[in-house]
Amino acid sequence: MAIIKSLLDQDLYKITMQRVYFHRFSNATARFEFRCRNKNVVFTEEMFAEIKAEIKALDTLKFEKDEIKFIGDLYYMKDARGYLEFLRLFRLNSEYIRVDLQDGRLIIAAEGPIWLASMYEIFVLAIVSEVYFKRVKLGDKTIGRERLQAKINAIKQESKPFKFSDFGTRRRYSFAWMDEVIATLSKSFDGAVFTGTSNLYFAKKYNLIPMGTLAHEYLCLGQALDTATIANSQRFMLQTWADEYRGDLGIALSDNLGSDYFLRHDFDKYFSLLFSGVRHDSGDPIEWGRKMLRHYEAHRIDPRSKTFVFSDSLDFPKAFAINREFCDKASVAFGIGTNLTNDMGCEPLNIVFKMVSANGRPVAKLSDSPTKLMCEDQNYVEYLKSVIEKGLRG
C-alpha cells in the first residue's frame, strides 16, 4: 500500500501558498532540490527503487470531494471558489520530478510551474523518511511510546501555560506512527494546550485546527520577480500575502534574509500592525524573542497583542525554557516537529526539499543560521549579502 494515500496528507502552508501562486503568480516556475544533511547516510538501490515508485504513485491521487469541502470550510478559504475548483482538477505529474541515485546519494529535483513543483516537498520528504527507516530497521515503537508519554507528563506538570501544535509531517518515522502520536495527543489535551497540526489529513481526521501560513519559498520567490527589486522583494511578498488574505493568516516569517534586515528594512510599523505575529525558524530563540519585543515596543505596539511562534528544531525542554522567558510578554506558541513524530531511539533524517531557483534565476534563504543556506550559485549569495549589508547600513 502506498505511503501517501491522500493529497490531504500535506502541510497547510503548501495549500495557503499554492492559492497565492494560483491567483497571482500562475506563470512563475521553480526548481526544488532534495538534500540529506546527515553524515554517513547511504541510500541503497532497494530504497531508491521504492522511493521512485512511491513518488510515481502520487500521479494517481486527487483531492476528493470531502477533502475539498474540508479546505473550503476553513474560514479564510470561503471566498476562494476558483481556487477550490482548481484543487478539484489538480494532479501531480511525475514528468516534472526526477529521482536518481549516485554513490548512495539520493538526488531528487522537481521543476515546473511553482503551483505544481512546490506541492512535491512534503510528500517527497515523508516518503524518503518512511522508506529509509523501514529498510534500515532502526527505531522502536515501544521507545517512541515511552518518550511520548514522558513528554505528555512533562507538559501537564509545566507551571506556565503552554500551547503547541504538531509540525512533524516532513520527517516523520511513518504515517502510522504519526497517526498514533496525533491520536494520543488529541486524547491527552484540549485545544488550549494541543492547538492543532500542520497536517491537513490528521486535522480532518481528529477534528483539529490546521496550523500554518507561509514558508521561506514564498519569500524567496520575490527575489526572482520583475515586479520588485531584490532589496524590496520581502516587502512586496508580504504585501501580496496581505492583499490575498486580508488580515487572516498573519504570521510573518522573519529570517529569510536575516531577522536584522527583516526588522530594519521590511517589517515597519505598517506591517507590524497588519500582521498578527512573527515566526522564529533559525538563530538563538531567546535573542530573537528579545529583539522582537524591542521592535514592537519601539513602534509603540504592545507585544502582548502579538503572537511569537517558535518552530526551529524544538524539543520540549527547550520549548519550556523559551515559554517561561516570553509567555508573560507576548502570546507564545510552538510548532514541534521531528521530536514528536520521529523520536524512536534512532537519529532522524535531517532532510530538506528546498526551492533553489525561480523563473530561471537563483534564489536563496540566508536565515540567521549559516548552515541552513542552500544555494549553489555562490556569486548570487555574495550579491544577496551585499544587498542586505547595504540595507542595514542605510
pLDDT at 46: 97
Q: How far apart are CA 382 and CA 79, in angstroms?
A: 42
Q: What are the C-alpha distances in Å from 335 to residues 116, 145, 328?
A: 26, 20, 19
Domain assignment present for 187: yes
Cα atoms found within 13 Å of the Cα of residue 148, Cβ hemisphere only: 26
**Which residues are within 8 A (CB) of 357 and not within 5 positions of it... i.e. 6 or more apart?**
30, 31, 224, 363
Quick one: residue 300, left, alpha or beta (phi over 0 = left, psi -120 to 50 = alpha)? left
Do 353 and 278 lie in a common domain?
A: no
Query: Which CATH number is 105's domain given?
Result: 3.20.140.10
Do 132 and 193 lie in a common domain?
A: no
pLDDT at 214: 97
Final residue of a structural domain among 314, 341, 368:
341
Do 147 and 162 lie in a common domain?
A: yes
pLDDT under 50 in the chain at which residues?
none
Do 157 and 69 lie in a common domain?
A: no
Domain assignment present for 253: yes
Do 231 and 325 lie in a common domain?
A: yes
Domain assignment present for 392: no
Domain assignment present for 96: yes
Do 191 and 102 lie in a common domain?
A: no
Using alpha carbons, select from 36, 37, 17 the residue that is nearest to residue 28.
17
pLDDT at 109: 98
Amino acid at 150: A
Do 321 and 350 lie in a common domain?
A: no
Domain assignment present for 172: yes
Q: How far apart are CA 90 and CA 82, in angstroms?
A: 12
Count of CB atoms situated within 10 Å of the CB of 32 = 25
DSSP H or E stretch at residue 319 = helix 316-326
Using alpha carbons, select from 108, 19, 122 the residue that is nearest to residue 61.
122
Domain assignment present for 391: no
Do 229 and 269 lie in a common domain?
A: yes
Specify the number of domains making up the chain.
2
pLDDT at 394: 65
202 contacts 172 by C-beta, under 8 angstroms:
no
Do 210 and 64 lie in a common domain?
A: no
Q: Got the DSSP string for 49-85? A: HHHHHHHHHGGG----HHHHHHHHTSGGGTT-HHHHH
Do 182 and 298 lie in a common domain?
A: yes
Residues 356, 12, 67, 57, Cα dihedral to 10°:
30
Q: How far apart are CA 269 and CA 273, in angstroms?
A: 6
Range of the domain at 165: 141-341
119-156 pLDDT per residue, tens:
999 999 999 999 999 999 999 999 999 999 999 999 99
Q: Point out which residues pair with 164 in neighbouring strands.
A: 194, 334
Do 145 and 288 lie in a common domain?
A: yes
Do 187 and 235 lie in a common domain?
A: yes
